[in-house]
Amino acid sequence: MNTTREYQRKLISAEEAAGMVKSGMWIDYGAICGFPSLIDEKLAARAKELKGVKIRAEHSHTVIPRHDPLQEHFIHNSWFLGRVEREYYKNGACSYIPFGLGDGPRMYRQWLKDAVDITFIEVTPMDKKGNFNFGASVTRQKAACEVAKKVVLEVNEHMPWVFGGYDEVVNISQVDHIVENYEYKIPEFPAAVITSEDEAIAALLAEQIENGATIQLGVGAVPSVVGKLLIKHNLKDLGIHSEMFNDSMMELIEAGVVTGKHKTLNPGKSVFCFAAGSEKLYKFMDKNKALAGFPVDYTNDPYTIAKNEKQIAINGALRVDLRGQVCSESVGTRQISGTGGQLEFTRGAYMSKGGKAFICLHAAREGKDGKLVSSIVPTLELGDMVTVPASDVSHIVTEYGMVNLKGKSIWQRAKALISIAHPSFRDELTKAAIKAGFITKGTVGIGF
């Protein structure tokens, strides 16, 4: 096959791509940096022509719900809500799809194999072999291409070429149409501001991470910031096996903290399935032989994770209750993000020889009225999604300390968690724990 001739034959405009969408179809967007910005814009412009178009996306920057807030024309569904989709959800214009991130490829190949009319995915320019690379978002893109009735790629010269792994490319022979996007770069994700609480958490974590350990940093402000702060703690020869690759990981590599030379799985390679960060990060990733992009059913398989000795999982949470249940994704019934890979890495790191799993959160946050609200609570709120069950939780970390809940009774867990809660709430948490029967009569006056 003459790939250049085939490319020209399949090349269409973004308007033509958007014009393929018919009322009632299921449309799947590429995940995160695989988001097809130009096609999305043209599809939004067609809102009044369409009815009941259902879109699946993830951490999307879409403008469609903004054009259709009452869902008269589009029904937007998200695997994981980012900043943009969070606002749509709050206004009733977006629905959440519960799932564990590592289940993505199987979700398409098994459960959605007849339920994708068109997939639109952002990719790199084509190479000489006719391959397009999924770049900063390998995730489950290949699986979506395999099952979609029509595959439309949006080519973006700003997408980094990321070596695999496997399933990191799709060939032109597997593609129906190509759109060239010269108007939008791939999405950037601003870095979180470092706080004194983050610095305290990072210092506690650094004491627990050995030289030669392999780390995962989850989605959210605390894990991202902690990654940056680990540079200060003189750790050596760390490795990376993570679902996400971000700026703090790039900085760890540039600082010589991450070398991967002691990894027991994929030595010398920083392994991930997607990236989210700055333009500098994406340029760093391009054709970088120290990196390897894999599909998410590899990166997030707990049994694969566990093959890395000393695997460390660092994830953030919104709330933890006194029994050890972790909510990292919703506030009551309002979805904030998604399950992502938090449970998978919590389990995989715990299974790893010498591995440890940490859930990190600030002990308190500022409420809408400006008053402090405890992040450690007697019980989760009605409607809170449990991201990590109490039976899976081990280390919980706040700026006031670290506790390991493994092997502890409910009264021990309650006392341990109260010990790392914000001091302003410890008395009322203790009273609530006694009232709920978590701290029993015989355990009131003893240590945990």
Q: State the Cα–Cα distance between residues 270 and 200, nearest whole angstrom.
A: 26
What is the chain's pLDDT, residue by residue, as a tens digit (448 residues)? 799 999 999 999 999 999 999 999 999 999 999 999 999 999 999 999 999 999 999 998 888 887 788 899 999 999 999 989 998 998 899 999 999 999 999 999 999 999 999 999 999 999 999 999 999 999 999 999 999 999 999 999 999 999 998 999 999 999 999 999 999 999 999 888 888 999 999 999 999 999 999 999 987 777 778 888 888 888 999 999 999 999 999 999 999 999 999 999 999 999 999 999 999 999 999 999 999 999 999 999 999 999 999 999 999 999 999 999 999 999 999 999 999 999 999 999 999 999 999 999 999 998 888 899 999 999 999 999 999 999 999 999 999 999 999 999 999 999 999 999 999 999 999 999 999 999 999 999 898 8
| Structural domains of the chain ordered from first start | 3-180 (3.40.1080.10), 196-443 (3.40.1080.20)
Catalytically active residues, by annotation? 243
Question: DSSP letter string over 308-374?
Answer: STTEEEEEE-SEEETT--EE-SEETTEE-S--TTHHHHHHHHHHSTT-EEEEE--SEEE-TTS-EEE
Question: Which residue do the tokens 């496997």 mark?
Answer: 166
* Rounded-to-integer distance, Cα 255 and Cα 314, Å: 20
CB 173 within 8 A of CB 365: no
pTM, 2 dp: 0.95
